[in-house]
Amino acid sequence: MKQMIKTKKRGSLIIISGTTCAGKGSVIKKVLEDNPNMSLSISYTSRKMRKGEEEGVDYYFITREEFEQKIKNGDLLEYAKVRYGEYFGTPKDKIEDLLNEGRDVILEIDVQGAKQVKEILPETILIFIVAPSMSEIKRRIKARGAETNEQILDRFETAYREINEIPKYNYIVVNDKLDEAVKKVEAIIISEKCRVDRIEEIYVENKEEIIHEFLMGKEYDNRVKTIDEAMNQEKEDHTN
């Protein structure tokens, strides 16, 4: 039997951003474990590979000249030049290939990068992960034990700036308990699959057949063959 609703097979691009110590990395890791049809976007970078990193797993490592050529060619969905002059960016072709295969793709980037991608791909789903409170952020930073007071202050200032950008996102998820946060993110992705604008085709067969099947289901006899007869039969039933 042919399905009545046919939806687009193209996958969804999900951007997950968040404040410092919001635990977005842990949320993403668990979502990917639970959903084998999802992929994590791998970024290009111009910085050197570090010990323990793998090409095509952690990043695609290219030279600064190659990166700048990709910028000129329009090969990136978004990019940024960070401290020490190194580039990081999202490959457009690799994302498109995955989406066209029907795979959902998670992209972990900051607020500015999310804005760039949304302008190119308006259907992108934007999710912002936050910690329960600023005091919890402070506790999580100090628990790391590897930050100077100056670095902690810098993280706090960045967090406040990013929180002001939340209205630009589609969803916000508070990561108080990891499992609950993961459930919320997965629920968002599922609900987005049910959006009406993802419908590609509606198949309802012919009207005569539909009405006939409907009336037969109410134990009408085989006299009902056409729309007019069906409608007249309905009127008679209401009159009686």
Q: Is the pLDDT of residue 12 over 70?
A: yes
Q: 233 pLDDT band (50/70/90 cuts)? A: low
pLDDT tens for each residue of 47-72: 999 999 999 999 999 999 999 999 99
22-49 pLDDT tens trace: 999 999 999 999 999 899 999 999 999 9
Return the structure tokens found at 68: 């700048």
Q: Where are the domains of the chain?
A: 5-199, 204-239
Distances (CA, A) of 168 to 80, 88, 115, 125: 19, 22, 8, 11
Give Cα 227 distance to the centre of its chain: 45
> What is the chain's alpha carbon radius of gyration, rounded to the nearest angstrom?
26
Give me the pLDDT at residue 238, please.
56
pLDDT of res. 225: 47
* Best CA proximity match to 127, nearest among 69, 191, 173: 173
Predicted TM-score (pTM) of the model is 0.78
Percent above pLDDT 90 for the chain: 56
Residue 174, amino acid: V
In the predicted model, is pLDDT for residue 15 greater than 50? yes
* Helix (H) or strand (E) run with residue 142 in it: helix 134-144
More confident residue, 140 or 54: 54
Instruction: Read off the tokens for 173.
Output: 């998820």
Structurally, at CATH architecture level, domain 5-199 sits in 3-Layer(aba) Sandwich (3.40)
Write down the residue that tokens 């706090």 correspond to: 156
Residue type, 79: Y
Strands 44-45 and 87-91: antiparallel
Tens of pLDDT along 84-137?
789 999 999 999 999 999 999 999 999 999 999 999 999 999 999 999 888 887
